[in-house]
Amino acid sequence: MNDSAFHYVDGALHVEGVPAASLAEQFGTPLYVYSRDALTRAYRAYADACAGRKATVHVAVKANSNLAVLNVFARLGAGFDIVSSGELARVLAAGGKASNTVFSGVGKSAAEMREALEAGVKCFNVESIPELHALNEVAKSLGKKAPVSLRVNPDVDAKTHPYISTGLKSNKFGVAFGDARATYREAHDMANLDVVGIDCHIGSQITEVSPYLDAIDKLLDLVEQIESDGMSIRHVDVGGGLGITYDDETPPDIGDFVRTLLAHFEERGHGQREVYFEPGRSLVGNAGVLLTRVEYLKPGEEKNFAIVDAAMNDLARPAMYEAFHRIVPVMERKASARLYDVVGPVCESGDWLGRDRELAVEQGDLLAILSAGAYGFVMSSNYNTRARAAEIMVDGERARVVREREEVKQLFAGESILPD
């Protein structure tokens, strides 16, 4: 198990104090299950390492936007990082504060800017000169000054999957490093913008500290240039992206990671800077599993298939990134194992959840797909007119439905046929 919240007792998988099999029986499958304890411990690892320093934690909502998950973090005092006005609405509904929310994203609309300004967000992470002009005009129309930080693209290789690498010259994100100083001057000259910080985010599922240190060095060099131009940079946002263990990865301990980055600021003579962290996956990834039931075992000439009731519409990462998730039995069997591709019922060859997995399994058995708390339900869809899974939060020996399972009739409730 990747997290002590998920463990076996006498061969039966438990989520905290609740048998996973009982959750599947009560709530059905496919089923997302989260551990409140795992969420809490991950957040506290960040918060404790920031204690006594000018450093704050802003949870990346895009990794898991379930209201109960966000509420766990809000109760712990977290700030949030959003990329849409929809995510802002979720933060507010979950008990978070706009005043402790950073609005990121490469394509904010004027309507989203207006909503965020009226709500009073902490800062806008702006990614282009046209966006600066748009935000300045929206702020002017409201008689406000918008707090802004420029997301700078430091051209640092995060050494991760190309789809989740965001800090290279070829990526769509951020202001080019060579243009950043002039862009800050332009932002400073706009009457309805208040330049308060600098931001970068170099990618996701990063398992080494060195790319972060390289990015921080480039940012701090730039900060010194910007401040020599007469501007004041109050905070440095180092983004998120710290990886987790899906298989055999060895990412740094969260506390060690935070302390190493903060120490680097001090070594560079910038210990007085406020630092923002924007973790997502490292908070929620290993706090969730996806439970699924084996519908059929299908032997083949070259492959054996375990066909389950979860599919690529429930968990998109394997099909999208060829991502690896460990798959384990909910009830351990003593029978000999065979190699299976674990696949879903969606009508696509790309509908697979795990390849060449050694499993002792029979038809009707339950499997748990681990490390499914990040980019799991939040990326799910209704492809093949499949209703999305329910979500459950386990807290000790209690389990609560935190999102009801969809019904098929809901999927076309807003549609209509043509009149006669």
CA distances from 241 to 128, 158, 208, 211, 292 (A): 22, 9, 10, 11, 28
Assign domain 36-283 to its CATH architecture: Alpha-Beta Barrel (3.20)
DSSP per-residue letters across 255-319: HHHHHHHHHHHHHTT-TTSEEEE--SHHHHGGGEEEEEEEEEEE--SS--EEEES--TTT--HHH
Catalytic residue among 50, 123, 200, 347: 347
Task: For residues 332-346, give the mean pLDDT.
Answer: 95
Q: What is the pLDDT of residues 150-206, one digit of tens each?
A: 999 988 866 543 444 444 454 557 899 999 999 999 999 999 999 999 999 998 899
Return all residues near 196 (Cβ < 8 A) that are at least 6 apart. 123, 147, 148, 149, 233, 234, 235
Q: Please tell me the distance from the alpha carbon of residue 137 to that of residue 281, in angstroms, as a whole number.
A: 35
Quick one: pLDDT at residue 170? 47
Please report, for the chain, the start and end positions of each structural domain, with discontinuous segments joined by +: 6-35+285-411, 36-283
β-pairing, 18-19 vs 6-9, is: unpaired
Q: What is the pLDDT of residue 166?
A: 44
Query: Among residues of the chain, what percentage have pLDDT more than 90?
Result: 92
Question: Of the candidates 157, 256, 266, 144, which has an alpha carbon nearest to the alpha carbon of residue 202?
Answer: 157
DSSP single-letter state for residue 33: E
**DSSP helix, strand, coil percent of the chain (3-state; round to 5):** 35, 25, 40
pLDDT tens track for 5-29: 999 999 999 999 999 999 999 999 9
State residue 335's pLDDT score: 87
> What are the distances in angstroms from CA 319 to CA 242, 267, 349, 376?
22, 43, 9, 12
Q: What is the mean pLDDT of the chain?
A: 94
Q: Which residues contact 339 (CB under 8 A, 6 or more apart)?
A: 304, 356, 357, 358
**Local structure of residue 242 (DSSP, 8 states):** B
Could you tell me if 226 and 233 are in contact, meaning their C-beta atoms sit under 8 angstroms apart? yes
CA 256 to chain centre: 20
Average pLDDT over residues 293-301: 94
> CATH says 6-35+285-411 is which class?
mainly beta
Fold equal for 6-35+285-411 and 36-283: no
Q: At 377, give phi and psi (nearest 5°).
A: -55, -40
Look at residue 171 in the predicted model and tell me its pLDDT: 57
pLDDT digits (tens, 9 = 90+) for 278-292: 999 999 999 999 999
Burial 236-270 (b: 16+ CB within 10 A, else e): bbbbbbbbbbbeeeebbebeebbbebbebbeebeb
347 in catalytic set: yes
